[in-house]
Structure 1
Amino acid sequence: FSAARVWWMFRVFGHNKVWVLDGGLPRWRASGYDVESSASGDAILKASAASEAIEKIYQGQTVSPITFQTKFQPHLVWTLDQVKNNMEDQSHQHIDARSKARFDGTAPEPRKGIRSGHIPGSKCIPFPQMFDSSQTLLPAEELKKRFEQEDISLDKPIMASCGTGVTACILAMGLHRLGKTDVPVYDGSWTEWATQPDLPMEGDESSS
């Protein structure tokens, strides 16, 4: 599931031409495609996005270095203060990618010292609900149903969180497939929120 976080981070820094291999390596293998246990020179030449430059190097030609110019997209990253403000103005619908048990506070967080529960006003959509049984992203119509089942309107702004800002990116990716390309992720997510004793939370704290 970390591939979605990489996808999101590239987009945060202004690189929009990035894709995720749906189903990952397991689906690649199941589809009968070749895999290698190490990267040979030929494999790098074929697989690298910079294959043209690498080919020139192999041929002894000079290649001028290129610096990727980042363009930070702050609207895709939310801070703790923005989430606090959202509790008041409710500008965005807040969805949480963690399991229902962690969201409800009936299961402990995997990180020691983190309170159990969720940010007030958020709704739980566990990230596995974005996938089918083969671990590939659901078709758009099925994804839409998943969000509608939790009363999430695709016509209104949405922001996503999770435990550490990783699986929330899967929700953002699912929404991206539905045409919502501006969904921010709360980077600190529950781990940051729950370590602040003065911040409100909802759920059963008995397992914290």
Structure 2
Amino acid sequence: MEPLVSTSWLAEHLGEKDLVVFDATMYLPNESKNGREEFARAHIPGAGFFDIDEVADPESNLPHMVPTASRFAALISALGVSNASRVVFYDQKGLSSAARGWWLMGLFGHDQAMVLDGGLPKWQREGRATASGPPRPAAPGQFTPRFRPRRLRGLGDMLENLETDAELVLDARAAGRFAATSPEPRPGLPAGRIPRSRNLPYTELLNPDFTFKSREELRARFAACGVDETCAVVTSCGSGVSAAVLTLGLTLAGHPCGALYDGSWTEWASHPDTPKES
């Protein structure tokens, strides 16, 4: 199943019994908006809300870290997802945080997950219907996870990679944050980057309407960062959300999806023993 669907595809299939649609919007601390509140103002009819901060490890002091397989299974089942479900994620910005939901589903073994190209802004520009109010209670599903650890990287893996250079680290943050010329959105977090990582702001993979660029354009942009068919890639960002846009872009470009560093710069910058560049 293709990981990207158009607004016309979703409009045609909306309401089908096995299709589950989620708004997976997450706003950064400096954006002064709340995804759930904005969902109540306008969302795609029948959609549920996928809270990235809730479908996470509640015991971690880092934001929205990957939950255990059992917690993920319980939460996604309660949201109405089964192993037979087709799941579409979108977000209110266009394409920013929806890919995190797609990536989590794949991490736990579910390949029938997709992202809405252009997200809610494109849906609304086309004059398609929206609904308001809180999400309707979902009939519980039954989801059995199949965890794929090779798609996930932790702090120890990243420190080891500094010694081996086995994987290319692509950072999805804006260029100013990567170069430490712009502040981080999280108060008190120092600016900078992981040594020898390369910058590919996730927005460079998108058209002005927040849809993905063509396969050829994606391949060219990745190639400019040193990615080829044999390259092992780890994506990173501020806290493991927009990194998933790069992971999705790799898949659309025909490259292996690689792995994602879940703690990303928030973990790396907060740790006293990690080397930093600026």
Higher relative contact order (CA 8 A, sep 6+): 1
Aligned to 1:22: 117
Aligned length: 183
Q: Percent identity?
A: 39
Q: 1:130 aligns with which of 205, 210, 219?
A: 205
In the superposition, relative to structure 1, how do residues 150 and 26 fare at CA in structure 2: closer, same or farther (>3 Å)? same
> TM-score, normalization: structure 1?
0.82
In the superposition, relative to structure 1, how do residues 40 and 85 fare at CA in structure 2: closer, same or farther (>3 Å)? closer
Give the Cα–Cα distance (whole angstroms) in 2 for the partners of residues 101 and 93 of structure 1.
20
Query: 1:190 corresponds to which letter in structure 2?
Result: W
Q: 1:169 aligns with which of 244, 266, 269?
A: 244
Query: 2:99 corresponds to which letter in structure 1?
Result: A
Aligned to 1:4: 99
| Deviation string, structure 1 residues 96-122 (Cα, Å, up to 9, x no partner) | 001111111111211122221100010
Query: 1:18 corresponds to which letter in structure 2?
Result: A
Give the Cα–Cα distance (whole angstroms) in 1 for the partners of residues 260 and 135 of structure 2.
37
CA drift of 1:38 comes to 4.5
Q: Larger Cα Rg: Structure 1 or Structure 2?
A: 1
1:79 aligns with 2:174: no
| Deviation string, structure 1 residues 29-53 (Cα, Å, up to 9, x no partner) | 2223222225898xx9xxx8xxxxx
- Determine which structure has the larger helix proportion and give its number: 1
| Deviation string, structure 1 residues 18-76 (Cα, Å, up to 9, x no partner) | 111100111112223222225898xx9xxx8xxxxx7xxxxxxxxxx752110111111
| Deviation string, structure 1 residues 168-187 (Cα, Å, up to 9, x no partner) | 00000000112234311100
> TM-score, normalization: structure 2?
0.62
Q: Which runs of 5+ in 2 are unaligned?
A: 1-95
Q: Which runs of 5+ in 1 are unaligned?
A: 49-53, 55-64, 204-208
C-alpha contact 2:250 2:257 (8 A) present in aligned 1: no
CA drift of 1:154 comes to 3.6
Give the Cα–Cα distance (whole angstroms) in 2 for the partners of residues 67 and 149 of structure 1.
43
CA drift of 1:194 comes to 0.5
Query: 1:200 corresponds to which letter in structure 2?
Result: P
